[in-house]
A and B are shown apart, each in its own frame.
Chain A
Amino acid sequence: MLRSGSALRRGLPRAGGAPGRGMRSADMFRELGLRLRLMGRTLQDQLSPLAPGTGSWGPPGVPRDPQPPEEADVVVVGGGVVGWSVAYWLKALEARRHGMRVLVLERDPTYSRASTVLSAGGIRQQFSLPENIHMSRFSASFLRNINEYLGVPNEPPVDIQFQPSGYLFLASPQDAEGLEATVKVQREEGVQVTLLSPAQLKDKFPWIDTEDVAVASYGLEDEGWFDPWTLLTALRRKAMSLGVLSCAGEVRGFVTSAEDLMPPRGPDPLSARIKRIHVYMQDSLEYQPVTCAIVVNAAGAWAGELLETAGLPEALRQPLPIQPRKRYIFSWHCHDGPGLSCPFLIDTTGAYFRREGIAGNYLGGMSPPEEEEPDPSDLSVDHSYFQEQVWPRLARRVPAFSSLRPGSSWAGYYDHNSFDRNGVVGAHPRLSNLLVAAGFSGHGLQHAPAAGRALAELVLKGRYETLDLSRLGWSRLVQREPLVEGGVV
């Protein structure tokens, strides 16, 4: 069985031969070795996806996923919506078809803890940072024309079930000025948002109790919610049809060129490149070293942890302050609840809810204050949180919710950037070929198409063209200059 090129090399007779033999036979052996190696590689590439389980040992009855290749041009660590968006845009924007080999690595193919599929699925443009507004607007335009981008021949069209109902932010008298200032920024960027007084609010949405509401901002265009799973599978399907490779594996080590370099003598800090990454197979100690040119960290809530376990030398360490934060989503049924006009409502207290379907189901939650953060080690749901914190607040705002029937609930992770709650997009300050797109603190889904495009342009063209996200780069973390986003729900 032809296993790998190196095995072949070991198995062949040495090309030198006895000194008495002429150059001709040595050449012949060398050429034979080369040819056999190439044949072996071709056969291996063709055989391994067809016959899983052959070649390397695995537990009987368990199909072996394809092993990562030995080389790839770009490796995307993380198979969530951001990772697949980067992979799709890399293929969509490359100048020559099959010009580069892109590999997406996902350590959990069941997506049991991925933030993408556990998200509430909202998209809005009501942010306070212009970059976030631009990213959302780009993503809305992408979703509107999703079949132009992600349609695959002979496959059914993509339907993300977008509900264009808008977001409604309520502000108490203390927060009214802040909200109006934010709306001013949004209007300057071209967002269609309107301010409503309590009387107008009551007129438009009679089911709201406007006590303690000074002003509300209502987004009118390109805001609503959609199905995140459909977007993820559509991106994945299109990217794979364009030639992106996908493997299950966990990246636990980076091998950098630091050991090949002399330590710098001047004031300039050490800068190196990643040469190889070590991809560990599931439930196994074996790993595959993948030589790569560029690594994209799209690991979401574990983006910071990826860099810590990567085994980088001390001089190259640059901590990424991204941690998983557990958030609950509860769904319930209410008989007399808000009707079809119900937007995605965010209360003055931070509690939020939206309609789900047309049969009287709603889902919502609330982000807890900093000191009451739940333990993120697992995704178990604390039902008392709904009873004690979320329900009373929502029932005060929507009196119809005083009687409701709780339904299912689940928990997911925000990839929380504890520095300034905004995404980090760009290159590592020390490792010139490590790029990151993570830390969106609950907005990763709606910013994924835009972040993917921006990062792909950075890889392919070296600069941002469509969206200028340079302010969201790593340098603000290094220089300790936060770029705060006020509108994190």
Chain B
Amino acid sequence: MRGGRGHARGAGPGLGGLDPYLGAPYIWGSPIGVASSPIHMGQPHRGCIQPHTYGAAQPHIPPPRTHMHLKDIYGPNVAAAAFTLSLGGSVRYEGQEQWLRPHGPWQERVLQLRSVPVWGLDLSACPVTYSGLGSLEPLPHLAHLDLSACPHVDDWTVARMRALAPSLRSLSLSRCPRVTERGLATLHHFRELRHLDVSGLNVPSPGLVRILLEEMLPGCRIVGMELDTPPKGTT
């Protein structure tokens, strides 16, 4: 299941944007441009196998049930937890020792804990994307985020995580194939970060990047990116 495919209208103050990545346009706040109706940009070339459908009349795709609506109805904790669990990740709430895994009927549990702040999210190897991060955004107590081995997390996604910066203390980006040192440079917003795992990333000179990261985040312990070991995953 894809994360964060949105068609939310009027959800929150104007962060207008056109993101045709997943084919469905979404417009927050006021739409850009003249039309007051949703702007259809047609299907992008996904994998470049589809024939041209630009300009042809688009069938009306009803907006899927999204976690954006959950945020409006139940609050950010439920939205983030539901998003994570539906992608196959795990959630840990504040004050709980156990991680809530996506096995069995987790929906009721998530609704029961709607007012308990989410402490940690484990999204390792989940197909979370740039637009999916919108479901995680207003989480003021999130301290632990694990995005290791996420295939779609790239530099843009890391830059977007800035909204989680005030509270995050532990972050893992290890083995994300599309994260480079350019995305890591945006982590300077994360003042509270104490543990950063960057092992297995493709960067040109790991030793230098590690030094620069240590300089950028003085209180943080940086794991991975040793001078002599080559990054995992490269042949």
Contacts and interface: CB of A to CB of B under 8 A. Distances in A.
B39 interface: yes
Given A151-B48, A164-B155, A358-B209, A190 B33 contact: no
21 contacts: A92-B52, A94-B55, A137-B16, A138-B18, A141-B18, A148-B21, A148-B44, A149-B45, A164-B182, A164-B183, A164-B186, A204-B188, A220-B162, A339-B212, A339-B215, A340-B188, A340-B215, A340-B216, A341-B185, A464-B33, A467-B32
B41 interface: yes
Contacts of A189: 14, 16
B209 to A, nearest CB: 6
B51 interface: yes
B17 A94 contact: no
Contacts of B28: 190
Question: What are the 5 closest A-B residue pairs judged by CB atoms, nearest first?
Answer: A341-B188, A164-B159, A95-B55, A340-B185, A190-B14
Most buried by A among B56, B156, B212: B156
A144 interface: yes
A359 interface: yes
B216 A93 contact: no
A286 B134 CA distance: 58
Nearest to B46: A148
Interface in B17-49: 17-21, 28-30, 32-35, 39, 41-42, 44-49
A188 B14 contact: yes
Interface string B115-154: 0000000000000001000000000000000000000000
A282 interface: no
Nearest to B28: A190
B33 A144 contact: no
Contact of A465 (B15, B33, B182, B184): B33
Interface in A14-52: none
Contacts of B184: 340
B11 interface: no
Contacts of B15: 190, 192
Contacts of A148: 20-21, 44-46
B54 interface: yes
Contacts of A467: 32-33
A152 interface: yes
Contacts of A54: none
Taking chain B's interface residues, is the majority helix, strand, or loop, or is none over half, making it mixed? loop
Interface in A246-276: none
Nearest to A92: B54
A46 to B, nearest CB: 25
Interface string A78-97: 00000000000000111111
A221 B14 contact: no
Given A162-B156, A221-B160, A465 B39 contact: yes
Contact of A145 (B20, B34, B183): B20
Interface of B: 13-21, 28-30, 32-35, 39, 41-42, 44-49, 51-52, 54-56, 130, 155-156, 158-160, 162, 181-186, 188, 204-205, 208-209, 212-213, 215-216
Given A94-B52, A340-B184, A466 B160 contact: no
Contact of A134 (B14, B32, B188): B32
Most buried by B among A221, A358, A468: A358
Contacts of B205: 358
Contacts of B183: 164
Contacts of A149: 44-45
A152 B48 contact: yes
Using C-beta atoms within 8 Å of the partner chain, give the interface range for chain A.
35 or more
B208 A359 contact: yes
A224 B185 CA distance: 11
B155 to A, nearest CB: 6
A68 B213 CA distance: 53
Contacts of A465: 33-35, 39
Contacts of B34: 464-465, 468
Contacts of B213: 340
Given A92-B52, A221-B159, A358-B212, 4 more contacts: A151-B45, A163-B182, A164-B159, A190-B17
A483 B198 CA distance: 47
B32 A137 contact: yes
Contacts of A92: 52, 54
B49 A153 contact: yes
A108 B20 CA distance: 34
Interface string A448-481: 0000000000001000111110000000000000
A241 to B, nearest CB: 9
A96 B52 CA distance: 8
Contacts of B42: 93
Contact of B212 (A94, A141, A340): A340
Contacts of A192: 15
A204 B30 CA distance: 32
A162 B155 contact: yes
B39 A466 contact: yes
Contacts of A389: none
Contact of A164 (B51, B156, B215): B156
Nearest to A342: B185
Nearest to A157: B178
Interface in A142-182: 144-145, 148-149, 151-153, 161-165
B34 to A, nearest CB: 5
